[in-house]
Amino acid sequence: MSGCYMIAGGGTGGHIFPAIAIGEALLAANAATRVLFVGTAYGMEKDLIPKQGHTLLTLPVRGLLGKSLAHKAALLWRVPASLLLSLFYLLRFRPKVVIGVGGYASAPLLWTAALLRIPTMIQEQNAFPGLANRISSRVAKLACLGFGEAGTRLRCPSIVTGNPVRKDFKQGGTWSADRPILLVLGGSQGAAALNRILPELLAGVLTPDMNLRVVHQCGKAHEASVRAAYEGAAFQVEVVSFIEDLSKLMDDVRLVVCRSGASTIAELKLVGVPAVLVPFPRATHDHQTFNAKSLAACGAARLIPETELPQAGPILAELLASSESLANMAAAYPSPGPDSARVCAQLVHDLQHKRPLNDILKEHAAHVS
């Protein structure tokens, strides 16, 4: 599977971590492969991609939804400039396949690649596709889906692969009730509502005899205020801006309270930790609620709307008091299935070698059945 591949997208960890996972799978298949990432200088990719030892090329494009009129006016030059820069990157590096993972940097590169007749593929993490992937699905050859429901809103053929998870995120061991950590996880950028509500909420739920330590990921911008909110707590607390090695920590987590971004859901499925999911209510098209319902429906998680979180103390107290309830939630997780990143990499290989799309779809359907 040699050659150069480009993976475009970013903004938040929900797009970046699946991109890294696919890139790592391509490199694992052939060390001679070159993987280039394309994003912006404004999203988290500017730090996360280089930190993983990968090359990041940037585009000046910015997001569209929910922005001011002046911001949208600036797109009059940012979008054409991004298309021209995409053309430059594509002609310079000549990728075999271009993969879009969502986020505003992905659409310009995919559309330009399609005009150059370079095979394109998208990977959609959420149950409700984002704008960039909906736009890109008009020119993509294939979509790899984290949730099957997303396929009805895309314009290209799709395969449910699950969401790629970073190679350092290993499948967890058997969950046990004596794990010492209650994890509050606000996503890659922190969650303002969880940061505001959880310190007071947990103060009314946790007691020293529970032998629980709270680890609260709050995002860099909120670290000082969250530390202050936990001052005087009657339980152990560790406040951190971001947890890079989350996989190792998960081995000690009894219960996690978190948002329901697609990457978070995929990682929870892999480690099998009981969860209380609080979807971000202003996520585009409420996709986090769509995501959360998939785990709540099978019994692996409780879904609590953000508006109801301040009154959720009794729910948390009930869960933490019942090892049986938590054990049943941990056991309810569906099997994580095949390695999604490796499956996506194989599909990239199929597109590179111009394998007939019908053959790809039939083979995958046979594996699923």
Q: Give pLDDT, residue 69.
A: 65
- Residue 243 neighbours by CB under 8 Å, 6+ apart: 185, 215, 217, 249
For residue 141, the 8-state DSSP code is: S
Q: Give pLDDT, residue 369.
A: 39
Pick the CATH number of 181-331 from 3.40.50.2000, 3.40.50.360, 3.40.190.290, 3.30.413.10: 3.40.50.2000
Q: Give pLDDT, residue 24.
A: 96
How would you write the pLDDT of the chain (369 residues) with one tens digit per residue? Answer: 568 999 999 998 889 999 999 999 999 999 999 999 999 998 889 999 999 999 999 999 976 555 556 655 666 788 899 999 999 999 999 999 999 999 989 999 999 999 999 999 999 998 889 999 999 999 999 999 998 989 999 999 999 999 999 877 776 667 888 889 999 997 666 689 999 999 999 999 998 888 899 999 998 889 999 999 999 999 999 999 988 778 889 989 999 999 998 888 998 998 999 999 999 998 877 889 988 998 999 999 999 999 999 999 999 999 999 999 999 999 999 877 789 999 999 999 999 999 999 999 999 876 553
Within the chain, which residue ranges are assigned CATH 3.40.50.2000? 4-165+338-368, 181-331
Q: Is 30 annotated as a binding residue?
A: no
Q: In what order do the strands lie in the sheet with 55-58?
A: 55-58, 34-39, 4-8, 97-100, 120-124, 142-145, 158-160
Task: Dump the DSSP string for 34-89.
Answer: EEEEEE-SSSTHHHHHHHTT-EEEE------TT--HHHHHHHHHHHHHHHHHHHHH
Q: How far apart are CA 64 and CA 76, in angstroms?
A: 11
Q: Is 188 annotated as a binding residue?
A: yes
Residue 160: helix, strand or coil by DSSP?
A: strand
Q: Is 247 annotated as a binding residue?
A: no
Q: Is 335 annotated as a binding residue?
A: no
* Residue 15: its H or E element: helix 13-29
Q: Is 243 annotated as a binding residue?
A: yes
Q: What is the CATH number of domain 4-165+338-368?
A: 3.40.50.2000
- Residue 156 neighbours by CB under 8 Å, 6+ apart: 122, 137, 138, 139, 140, 141, 142, 143
